[in-house]
Amino acid sequence: MNRRLPGTISQCQRLLLATHNHAPTAFSSRFLSTSSVNRERQECQVLVVGGGTGGCAMAAKLSSRLGSDKVVVLEPEDKHYYQPMFTLIGGGMKRLDQSHRQMADVLPKKAKWVKEKALEFDPDNNTVSTSGGKTIKYDFLIIATGLQLNYEKIPGLVEALETPGSNVCSIYSPKYVDQVYECLRRTTKGNAVFTFPNCPIKCAGAPQKIAYISDHYFRKMGRRDNVNIIYNTSLPVIFGVKHYAEALMKLIKRRNITLNVQRNLVEVRHGDNIAVFEDLANPGVHYEETYSMLHVTPPMSAPDVVANCKKLVTPTGFVDVDQMTLQHNKYSNVFSIGDSASSPNSKTAAAAAAQSPVVFRNVMAAIEGKAPTDIYDGYSSCPIVTGYSSCILAEFDYNLTPVETFPLDQSKERYSMFFMKKELMPLLYWKLMMNGYWNGPALMRKMFSVLKFNKK
Ligand code: FAD
């Protein structure tokens, strides 16, 4: 994984000052709609592209501060999914209908929702053109388009996923997540194979969470002696943060799960129940694995529409932001939050929560004509569910140093963390984060650290 270490604050501020010239000199607070030759033109103060986790949180914060109709959200979907629930749906612990709300009910009332896709970004002219034929001119732009799932990049995979009874499944898409528990129920023997692709993904813990849940499921059903669990990851290690990797390696050994590192899924031959993997340590060397169940984490990338705007992105297609301020490195009126940003944090909703106050304060500073100075430390968190009643709560920053909130050793499997993940986090997401009130657990962590508990 491409990882840049954080620089110093003064380096960052120098960079900011150098790039500040792109901010508009006059900040419009209007929202007009006029017709041009072919395209309807609209204008707004802040345009948020993407109404998912990060976009919705930003729209809530900014529209509450700036007032009605200053913020436009460009988002084509009817439904807003709480994606962290997909892993639990895969294990049969939640239902798909519990994971989503209507977009209209989630987006803030004070923001204007344009139910269309961004088709093209033109940062030199501060405009975005949309699928409905509009050109939206903005003073400030926040890109929050998340990640695109590229199932079609693996030959045979889409066909396998769409063939009833093929025993190929994936928690990553609402389209396929319901199949995962069905696959589990149907699997009585053979190899249950789990994959992790060779690219940045959202919630890098989820591919192994579903493997641990499956292991627990097969044990509960008395089938585990007949089912081999094989976890094939493209990464060289089980988890990037040593503190949690050590605990997970012990768990894998204790549960008799086979771990193969640097193995990347390249083809699915679903008629023969064969998955083909490339050995990334020996490029060109392929292995065939017969499966009775195959759980696939698809390759992912920034959405094409973002990646295609070369002026806005890094060579890997992510929005080219300063990793501390989340302001664009070239266009100072552009910011990004969440999975589509180039900041080298682990891509999670928890990271977007911690980024949200930073982006908010830095956008507000830019609106006032000041240099943004608020700093994101790379905080991300991953509740690694290890079964039907246990969870390891990994929390860490850009340096891959654990930054644990609770006065407990969070590398241990605990029911309390499982309960929090399953029951409390969805509430926190819908009630607080979507209304702009959740900034991550930093305050809670400070409170616990003042109390100076001994970790056990
Ligand atoms: P998203 O929430 O994905 O939103 C992107 C939005 O942009 C979407 O609404 C999309 O419709 C819109 N969009 C895309 N293209 C365009 C366009 N051209 N024009 C306009 N709008 C567009 N995170 C955790 O913190 N903890 C977990 O336990 C966890 N588990 C997960 C398990 C799974 C299986 C999955 C899939 C994710 C998990 N995550 C978890 C990750 C988390 O859901 C994401 O990191 C988070 O949603 C990212 O927020 P975002 O705003 O960047 O993107």
Mean local confidence (pLDDT), 12-30: 34
Question: Which candidate, 2, 9, 10, 3, places its Cα nearest to that of 398?
Answer: 3
Mean pLDDT for the chain overall: 92
Ligand 1 atom closest to Cα of residue 54: 51
Could you tell me if the CB of 74 is within 6 A of ligand 1?
yes
Q: How confident is the model at residue 21 (pLDDT cuts 50, 70, 90)?
A: very low
Q: How confident is the model at residue 39 (pLDDT cuts 50, 70, 90)?
A: confident
Residues 92, 184: contact at Cβ < 8 Å? yes
Q: Rounded CA gap, 53 and 338, in Å?
A: 8
pLDDT of residue 6: 31
Element (H, E) at 40: strand 40-49
For residue 124, give the DSSP letter: T
Ligand 1 atom closest to Cα of residue 338: 52
Q: How far from the centroid of its chain's Cα atoms is residue 54's Cα?
A: 9
Judge whether residue 14 has pLDDT over 50: no
Q: Rounded CA gap, 434 and 447, in Å?
A: 24
What residues act catalytically?
203, 382
Q: How confident is the model at residue 12 (pLDDT cuts 50, 70, 90)?
A: very low
Instruction: Name the token pair of 247.
Output: 């605990």
pLDDT of residue 421: 98
Residues 338, 237: contact at Cβ < 8 Å? no
Q: Give distance in angstroms: CA of 50 to centre of ligand 1.
A: 9
Question: Which candidate, 176, 175, 168, places its Cα nearest to that of 192?
Answer: 168
Q: How confident is the model at residue 452 (pLDDT cuts 50, 70, 90)?
A: low
pLDDT of residue 454: 60
| pLDDT, tens digit (0-9, with 9 covering 90-100), for 389-404 | 999 999 999 999 999 9
Q: What is the dihedral of CA 336, 339, 340, 342, to 10 degrees?
A: 80
pTM equals 0.92
Residues 64, 82: contact at Cβ < 8 Å? no
Tokens 């044990």 belong to 219
- Please tell me which residue, 448 or 347, carries the higher pLDDT value: 347
Ligand 1 atom closest to Cα of residue 83: 43
pLDDT of residue 453: 63
Mean local confidence (pLDDT), 97-106: 98
Q: Which of these ranges, 32-41, 208-217, 365-374, has the smallest mean pLDDT? A: 32-41
Q: Which of these ranges, 14-18, 29-33, 354-358, 402-406, has the smallest mean pLDDT? A: 14-18
Mean local confidence (pLDDT), 354-358: 98
Atom 30 in ligand 1: residue holding the nearest Cα: 84
